[in-house]
Chain A
């Protein structure tokens, strides 16, 4: 179990990580979702020991990690750019840790060879051992990087956007394989990504990193069903976030007055944000201005194969997205600049009361 307690890291005035707590259980896959610049790489580098935290403690199975040099931490790190040793063959890259680590290096050549072959088999690189690392494809490099880390049997493996450098097809295949490999080895993976689909797909648990701290950690479906805050919902890239104040049981917002789900129970003047799922919107022809709900001008639509994402601009200029799964009846073609009424079931809204400032 990897435990981080109120870990902080500042660069000058700016803080990249600010009082972060996180627990990665043994034998689990945790994905860490964060926007670019949210400090997710910094966090991994602190766990691996390439940087030290300004405050807080890190421990792995009860032993303190902070202050220990990186080569003695027993933490595996898979780099975004793979960071393979360019002058060594695939085999020698993979064998590097076994041969040259300071603690318990494996001096028996036969054992090294055997373990290299085993791990190359595990990541699907049989027969490529003698290739130069410059002579293999991106996906293969990714596997070499993984094999090189896994062969040392680290207690936890940190993956820094491991699929970022791969093309979309390969990414999906590697996702499945990463999960399968982790399950076979029974160790923990902490997988950092900026892609919500990747995070939700990969993690037994998904942690959302925002403002230098973990905003929520939960299994993917829980996270999706009940995000803890508007920030978390925004990271999932599946909700329109609308902010306003409560008045007479309705939310007065710049895009219009919205009905709130039953049991929200907020007093008048309470600031509140609601998350409206992209796929919870029914687009209707324009109706009377005075009525409830959102009126918005159609901007453009993106055809995504199994679904269609439409963009509307509300009266205050904010963008509202509507997703229609094409297994449902195909929506009519919307006219650009035409104003439509965006209807939704208020019960679909997730309400986040905010502290009054």
Chain B
């Protein structure tokens, strides 16, 4: 050892001067960098660079059939002054907030049942699996299946007419905002159920028993103990649902008969007609909205504390 140190010169001597703790820390840092490297490369190539590109392209000059890299704010002005496009922002936000509320209202009781009321872990797991069984079919089938369900001569109308509850079928079930909201709520509900269930399952039952012993009824226990302790799950679920709903286009296209245009639909149709600059504007705006929504959601609760 000594011989090697002397012959290898100053570098090794400096290395030796470090305390074992510092050496360990340095080794850990290198290890962490190695682990992060593939992710950093991936994110740079496929997220950071494309996003910069999208912002850049949104300022290019768009003519009917061509696009050229001369910088202009034309596309931005056109987007922000057109009632159609501004409406699509409102539609997107409206559908997002309604779907988010619906998934929460439908999903929370389910999570409460699976995560808190059922104490058998096997049964808990089985029920969670049941929740994701619909995902074994393709996204498209799940969306399209709502057509024969909601249509004028569809399942719901037939049942209601046969039961004698209505005489003329509801015509506004399908190809409406309602259809889009129903379809999305069904598809994305499970993303709310999952995170909330996991948070609820982590609550120690003796805490709830303690609250009961102190005289609190179910309502107070729910609002004061269960809900606050499950809030991180609600926020994570809300982030999942928000990200997916805000960028959605397929459900809206399939169930609204092109009456409901979300930002995603604008992007699809603009890309379809090769209006790259304009699609980029919509893309940038959508990204900004998603960023604001996620930041706001994460403000509600300190996720770091729960990790």
Contact = CB atoms under 8 A, between A and B. Distances in A.
Nearest to B231: A87
Contacts of A96: 211, 214, 216, 224
B196 to A, nearest CB: 16
Given A96-B224, A100-B220, A100-B224, A83 B215 contact: no
B28 interface: no
B207 A76 contact: no
A84 B217 CA distance: 17
B211 A85 contact: yes
A278 B100 CA distance: 70
Nearest to B204: A83
Contacts of B221: 100
Interface in A66-112: 69-72, 75-77, 79, 81, 83-87, 96-97, 100-103
A148 B214 contact: yes
A83 B214 contact: no
Given A83-B207, A102-B220, A71 B213 contact: yes
Nearest to A105: B215
Nearest to B207: A83
A7 interface: no
Interface residues of B, number: 18
B45 interface: no
Contact of B209 (A50, A102, A103, A152): A50
A148 B229 CA distance: 19
Contacts of A272: none
B69 interface: no
A148 B228 CA distance: 19
Contact of B214 (A86, A87, A152): A152
A85 B214 CA distance: 12
Contacts of B207: 83-86
A77 B214 CA distance: 8
Interface string B227-267: 01100000000000000000000000000000000000000
Interface in B182-227: 204, 206-207, 209-217, 220-221, 224-225
Interface of A: 48-50, 69-72, 75-77, 79, 81, 83-87, 96-97, 100-103, 148-149, 152
Given A48-B209, A97-B215, A149-B214, 10 more contacts: A76-B213, A77-B210, A79-B210, A81-B206, A83-B209, A85-B210, A100-B211, A100-B214, A100-B216, A100-B224
14 contacts: A48-B209, A69-B212, A70-B209, A72-B215, A79-B206, A83-B204, A85-B211, A86-B229, A87-B228, A96-B216, A101-B215, A102-B215, A148-B214, A152-B214
